[in-house]
Structure formats: structure tokens, C-alpha cells
């Protein structure tokens, strides 16, 4: 799927010396005779193309321009103006061959008057569709998913270049307006829904400006391109993911899943899942939709890569690329591309594998969409009636779910109301709470163990802003009660900072089970990267969570340690009954309020109400309330102390200055 270019162009871009040109064409009208062409010599300082996407969703592109402000003339640049961009390379023989970047629309223009430069931001048709909102009545029903794709292409004024009738689930009939009850739906989101339902990626091609739905690649014997040490300036090869052998169609937050698996592959190779969450096109027919998707995705898998190439310009999101380093080859699929033309060419390529806890690809601010669903399920075999009323808000940061669920059987009614996500099963999960000696509460520890505030982890995407730290040959352990059932799954997730030396391990184990995540010695530091283990099914009623380091480790910090029910790790939360930060700790043991200046604190527990201070040089209890008696180390009173039938009043001046004891009555 790379941009088609000739062998001569490829040879020119792989040459040690390259002669490059940039071209921008303005389209003030639909008549090509009115086009205005800008060249790099007179107007263009730099052009940057960014693509981001993945299979089972859409790909969007952004173009950023730096243009010279003309001295004596205007060339009609304006917001909303269609433009097309390309760059060229001088090939053997002296001619220039162009590599098309596609069509865009100008979103914004900022002028630097001092430097006489325009900063111009442009979007392709899919990125622009973020602001193209769906309105009831624009799509005709009933229709199949294939017919829906054709209608969307027509509404977006794009030719459809894929035979959508041949895609998985394309013939599913949609009888009602699927998006009528989903607020603020954009056509970009509808494209993502179609891609997820059909096992494809929605894409607008650079060269022909048509809408395509590219099937997920599963045969990597003939890659789209190849890279090696000679064509990469620097590179980082990450973890391998796949091959897919299980497809899950999930309703969240109920964790209501329908799956299809290739059992032989699961048994021989282990399970690799693709989870499609809340796809509205398939919601009512998930059992029928899962098998075609599994057939389309079976074998899908690749290795993560992050590289700066020598600069080719023809790579696109979705390309299958074979990477050969040190005589060993692996395959990646491109998910991000950034190409800059200006004083040469820079090209950055990323192949990002799916996260174990899913990826949020929302780009717009605030609530992206709200889904309402009312459902009544009757299970005659179990003699059970289940009623669910659900509202789900999807935003940039998280999914907020609110639902009411009633389960009624012959003997009982269970009524559940949820307004937030699940609770963390790990207590004191990031080390906010410490005892009087500075040890972490809830944890059994050995070696050099502590906790620290971590603004750095927040900058890397963390949530809590606090981290548990371990030195060399150190460990922490906490026993977590769980339910031993093949039907109950648990997942854990966290972020880690680790130096390159030494080995560390995070494990959950009991007498029968072992779930382990290793952090081995490597060539580079780990900087707050996410790790996790999902869908654990313990066979005993507890799991011991253990974090441990060997003698060679110089630094290990763990933040956002989260364990929850379900087959998917969720964002970090505190445990049930906990409210913790740097100054206040509320948990099952009581309340601790710490000074923001000193090491002093007040402790309220079932056993005491007391204050502690190190003003004397050592930490000691300075006041306590014990039933009807208050004891304290020092007391400062401004005006008087009353204890019937006397009161003590200070005499602050004169020959009789001191303390006067005088008679008093109640009320005086």
C-alpha cells in the first residue's frame, strides 16, 4: 500500500546525495485552470506530513506548512481552501518525479509578522470529518453495512475505491438508525465503526483521493517494503504481538463478551486477542459477527518498531514492512508516519502494537460521544431476567460509564447502580500511606523500599503522581483475596521506571498459579512504560503480588499499580475505602493528615486521636485524646482557662503580672 513511485525515484531517494523539491497547489475553484502552484524556492520553507491510524479503525492525516509571506502580492491563501501537496526528487537523467501527499483543507493560519512567515495547519478528509457531525435523516435505513459505507462516502464527497460487498459482515442488515441515540457523532467515528465491523482500516489515499477500506494483512511473505541498517539512521525494535487467534466483541462496562477462537492455535501458541468494544453496527448480532472477523484476522500480528529512516517519503500507515537488523528479520505494520521536507528530508516511522489495555484514539476534546442503551435479557434455562439501562460517555481521557442493572431470579433480585469504574484491589498501591517509622502500610517489605512524589510520571501519562521505589535486592509483597473461578478474571497494569542494569520482576502467585512480568537488563532505561497482565484466572482464593529486584538494579520505581476484575486492565484508581495523596491518607486504618512543611501529622484511628511532631528532634506523640482525658506536651492559651468554680486569667503588666485565680460561676 505504499505510494506508487518508480524504481528511478526509489534509487534517487536511496542515493547519498539527493536533490529535492516541494510543491503546494491551491485550488480556489473546481476549475483546474484556476489552480495556483507554489514552489519551495519562492514560497515554501517546509512541509510536514503526519499520519496516524491502525487496522480496525480509521487513519487521519495532517499537513503543516511554513510559507513565506509574499512581498508585493497575495496568493489567496485562506482558511477552508483546498490544497494538495507533493515533493519531488531529481532522478537519473535530470528530470523530477513527484510523490503525492494527497488533498487537504486549510484549518488555520497564523502569521508571524516579524519573520514574515505563515504557519498553516491542514487536515485530510478523515481528520476534517471529526467536525462533520451526523444528523438524523442523512442516512437511509434499512441498509447493509456495505450500503452504509457507500452512503457515507457520498456524504463525504469521496469516491469509494473498495468493493465493500466482499468485506466481512458487509451484508449485515441495519434496520434502524444506529446513530440516532449517540450524541455528537461525527462521520470520522462512523468510518471507525465500519472499519471495526468489517476488519479493515478506513483510509483516504494520497495519490487518488479515494476512500478505501483496506483488509487486515495476515500474509507477510511479500511485504510492501523492506528496511535494514543502511536505510535507517536509528531504530528501536520493541515487543512482538500476535498472531491473533481470538476475537472478542465486548459490551462495556458490563464486561459482556462474545468471543470466537481458533482453539488449536490457542492451545499450541497461547492466546492473542483482538477486542472490539461497543461497536454499534454489530451490537445486536455479535454471535454472528465474530466468526467472519476471526477468519479475516487469524494470523494478524507484528513487531513494534520506532525508527528514523534515511528519508524515503513513500511509506504510509498500514504498510507491511520487513525489518532486517544483524541478519535477523521481523515484520512490522506502520501505525504512524511523520515526514518533513525542508533543508532535506526527515522521516519517522512507528509500528505500535496494540496495548493489553486498549488504546484511546479520540482526538477531540470533551465528551466524544454518549451512547444510550436499554436492554432486557431473558435466560429461560437459568430462570433469570436481566434489565440494563446504560449511558456511556467516551472522552479523551477515559470512558465514564453509568448503568443500572437489575437481575431477577425465582429467589432473589439484585440491583446494581454504577457511576464510576471498578475499584483497585491493591491497597496503598502507590505508597501514599506510611507508618510512624516510614514503612509502607499494607506491604511486607525488605531492603531499600520507599515512596516518592513523581511529577515525571505524570508527564509520561501517569495518573497518581506517586511511585513506590525499590533499591537493589529489595522486595514488597501484598496478599490480595480473589475468587477462585474459571469464570472470574483479573487484570493488572502499572508503569515502570528502571535503569538499564539488573533484573526486576512483578509477579502474582499462589500455591498453584504464577503470572509473571519480567523486566530484564537491557540496552536502555525504561522510562515510565506501561506493562500489564490481563485475564488471569486464579485457581486459589488469593494472589500474592510481589515486586522484587536483584543486586544489580540501580533504580526501580512503580506507579499506577492497578488490579481489577475483568479481562482488561483499567486506569489507576485507589482501593475501596481509600482517599490518599501527599498530605491526606484515609483508609481502613483511619485518617492521617500530614503537614506540608514539617514531618508532623495528626492520626485518627479506632485506637487513638493523637498528634505527632519531631519539633524536639525525635518524632513523639505530643497530644492525645483518651475518652474524657486530653493529654498534651505543650499548651498555649491566649485569654483564660476555666475550671469551675475558678478560672485562671493572665495579668500581663504591672507589679502583679502573672496568673490570677479567681472565682467564677457557669455562664460567666
Q: What is the pLDDT of residue 398?
A: 39
Q: What integer is the mean pLDDT of 145-170?
A: 94
Query: Nearest to residue 395, comparing CAs of 369, 425, 421?
Result: 369
Q: What is the pLDDT of residue 667?
A: 59
Residue 350 bridge partners (DSSP):
306, 336
DSSP code string of 140-191: -SSEEHHHHHHHHHHHTT--B-S-GGGSTTTT-EE-S-TTTTEET-BHHHHH
404 has a pLDDT exceeding 70: no
What are the helix (H) ranges across 244-342?
263-269, 286-297
* Cell numbers found for residue 462: 501517569
Q: pLDDT-based confidence at 1, cuts 50/70/90?
A: low
386 has a pLDDT exceeding 80: no
More confident residue, 13 or 385: 13
390 has a pLDDT exceeding 70: no
Q: pLDDT-based confidence at 73, cuts 50/70/90?
A: low
Q: How far apart are CA 35 and CA 25, in angstroms?
A: 6
Asked if 77 and 120 touch (Cβ cutoff 8 Å), the reply is: yes
Q: How far apart are CA 468 and CA 47, in angstroms?
A: 44
pLDDT in tens, 98-127: 999 999 999 999 988 778 888 999 999 999
In eight-state DSSP terms, residue 131 is S
CA 355 to chain centre: 8
Q: What integer is the mean pLDDT of 607-617?
A: 80
594 has a pLDDT exceeding 80: no
Q: Give pTM, 2 decimals.
A: 0.57
- Exposed, middle or buried by CB within 10 Å (0-12, 13-18, 19+), for 438? exposed
Q: How far apart are CA 179 and CA 197, in angstroms?
A: 15
Please state whether the peptide bond connecting residue 652 to the residue before it is cis, i.e. omega within 30 degrees of 0.
no
Rounded to 5 degrees, what are φ and ψ at 639?
A: -115, -55
388 has a pLDDT exceeding 80: no
pLDDT in tens, 432-475: 888 878 889 899 999 999 998 888 888 888 888 889 999 999 99
pLDDT in tens, 643-663: 878 888 888 787 778 888 888
608 has a pLDDT exceeding 50: yes
Q: pLDDT-based confidence at 639, cuts 50/70/90?
A: confident
pLDDT in tens, 217-271: 999 999 999 999 999 999 999 989 989 999 999 887 667 788 899 999 999 989 9
159 has a pLDDT exceeding 60: yes
pLDDT, averaged across the chain: 84
Amino acid at each position: 500500500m505504499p505510494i506508487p513511485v518508480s524504481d528511478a525515484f526509489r534509487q534517487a531517494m536511496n542515493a547519498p546525495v539527493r536533490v529535492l523539491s516541494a510543491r503546494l497547489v491551491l485550488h480556489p475553484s473546481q476549475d483546474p485552470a484556476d489552480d495556483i502552484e507554489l514552489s519551495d524556492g519562492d514560497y515554501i520553507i517546509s512541509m510536514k506530513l503526519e499520519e496516524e491510524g491502525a487496522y480496525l479503525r480509521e487513519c487521519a492525516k495532517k499537513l503543516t506548512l511554513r510559507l513565506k509571506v509574499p512581498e508585493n502580492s497575495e496568493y489567496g491563501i485562506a482558511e477552508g481552501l483546498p490544497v494538495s501537496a507533493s515533493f519531488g526528487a531529481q532522478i537519473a537523467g535530470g528530470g523530477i518525479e513527484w510523490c503525492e501527499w494527497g488533498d487537504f483543507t486549510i484549518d488555520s493560519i497564523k502569521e508571524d509578522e516579524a519573520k514574515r512567515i505563515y504557519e498553516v495547519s491542514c487536515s485530510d478528509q478523515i481528520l476534517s470529518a471529526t467536525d462533520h457531525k451526523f444528523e438524523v435523516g442523512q442516512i437511509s435505513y434499512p441498509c447493509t453495512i456495505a450500503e452504509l459505507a457507500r452512503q457515507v462516502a457520498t456524504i463525504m464527497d469521496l469516491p469509494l475505491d473498495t468493493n465493500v460487498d466482499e468485506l466481512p459482515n458487509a451484508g449485515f442488515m441495519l434496520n434502524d438508525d444506529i446513530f440516532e441515540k449517540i450524541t455528537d457523532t461525527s462521520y470520522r467515528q462512523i468510518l471507525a465503526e465500519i472499519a471495526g465491523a468489517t476488519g479493515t482500516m478506513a483510509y483516504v489515499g494520497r495519490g487518488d483521493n479515494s476512500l478505501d477500506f483496506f483488509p487486515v494483512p495476515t500474509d507477510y511473505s511479500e511485504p510492501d517494503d523492506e528496511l535494514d541498517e543502511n536505510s535507517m539512521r536509528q531504530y528501536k525494535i520493541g515487543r512482538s504481538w500476535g498472531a491473533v487467534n481470538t476475537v472478542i466483541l465486548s459490551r462495556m462496562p458490563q464486561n459482556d463478551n462474545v468471543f470466537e477462537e481458533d482453539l488449536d492455535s490457542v492451545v499450541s501458541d497461547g492466546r492473542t486477542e483482538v477486542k472490539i468494544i461497543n461497536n454499534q453496527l454489530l451490537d445486536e448480532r455479535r454471535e454472528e459477527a465474530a466468526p467472519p472477523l476471526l477468519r479475516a484476522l487469524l494470523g494478524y500480528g507484528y513487531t513494534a518498531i520506532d525508527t528514523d529512516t534515511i528519508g524515503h517519503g513513500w511509506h504510509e500507515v498500514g504498510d507491511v514492512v520487513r525489518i532486517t537488523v544483524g541478519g535477523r528479520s521481523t515484520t512490522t505494520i506502520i501505525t504512524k508516519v511523520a515526514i518533513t521536507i525542508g533543508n532535506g528530508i526527515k522521516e519517522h516511522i512507528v509500528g505500535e502494537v496494540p496495548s493489553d489495555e486498549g488504546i484511546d484514539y479520540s482526538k477531540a476534546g470533551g465528551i466524544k460521544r454518549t451512547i444510550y442503551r436499554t436492554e432486557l435479557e431473558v435466560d429461560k434455562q437459568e430462570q433469570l431476567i436481566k434489565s440494563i439501562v446504560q449511558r456511556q460517555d467516551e472522552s479523551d481521557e477515559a470512558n465514564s460509564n453509568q448503568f443500572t442493572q437489575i437481575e431477577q431470579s425465582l429467589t432473589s433480585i439484585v440491583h446494581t447502580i454504577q457511576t464510576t469504574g471498578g475499584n483497585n484491589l491493591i491497597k496503598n498501591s502507590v505508597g501514599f500511606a506510611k507508618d510512624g517509622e516510614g514503612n509502607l502500610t499494607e506491604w511486607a517489605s525488605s531492603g531499600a523500599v520507599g515512596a516518592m512524589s513523581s511529577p515525571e510520571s505524570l508527564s509520561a501519562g501517569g495518573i497518581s503522581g506517586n511511585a513506590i521505589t525499590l533499591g537493589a535486592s529489595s522486595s514488597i509483597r501484598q496478599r490480595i483475596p480473589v475468587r477462585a473461578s474459571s469464570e472470574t478474571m483479573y487484570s493488572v497494569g502499572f508503569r515502570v521506571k528502571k535503569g538499564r542494569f539488573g533484573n526486576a520482576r512483578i509477579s502474582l502467585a499462589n500455591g498453584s498459579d504464577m503470572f509473571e512480568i519480567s523486566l530484564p537488563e537491557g540496552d536502555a532505561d525504561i522510562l515510565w512504560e506501561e506493562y500489564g497482565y490481563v485475564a488471569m484466572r486464579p485457581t486459589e482464593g488469593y494472589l500474592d503480588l510481589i515486586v522484587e529486584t536483584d543486586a544489580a538494579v540501580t533504580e526501580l520505581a512503580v506507579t499506577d499499580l492497578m488490579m481489577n476484575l475483568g479481562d482488561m486492565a483499567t486506569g489507576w484508581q485507589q482501593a475501596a475505602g481509600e482517599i490518599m495523596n501527599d498530605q491526606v491518607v484515609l483508609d481502613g486504618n483511619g485518617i492521617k493528615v500530614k503537614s506540608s512543611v514539617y514531618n508532623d501529622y495528626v492520626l485518627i484511628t479506632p485506637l487513638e486521636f493523637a498528634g505527632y511532631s519531631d519539633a524536639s528532634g525525635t518524632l513523639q506523640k505530643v497530644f492525645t485524646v483518651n475518652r474524657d482525658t486530653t493529654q498534651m506536651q505543650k499548651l498555649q492559651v491566649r485569654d483564660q482557662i476555666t475550671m469551675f468554680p475558678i478560672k485562671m486569667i493572665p495579668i500581663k503588666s504591672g507589679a502583679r503580672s502573672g496568673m490570677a485565680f479567681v472565682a467564677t460561676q457557669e455562664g460567666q
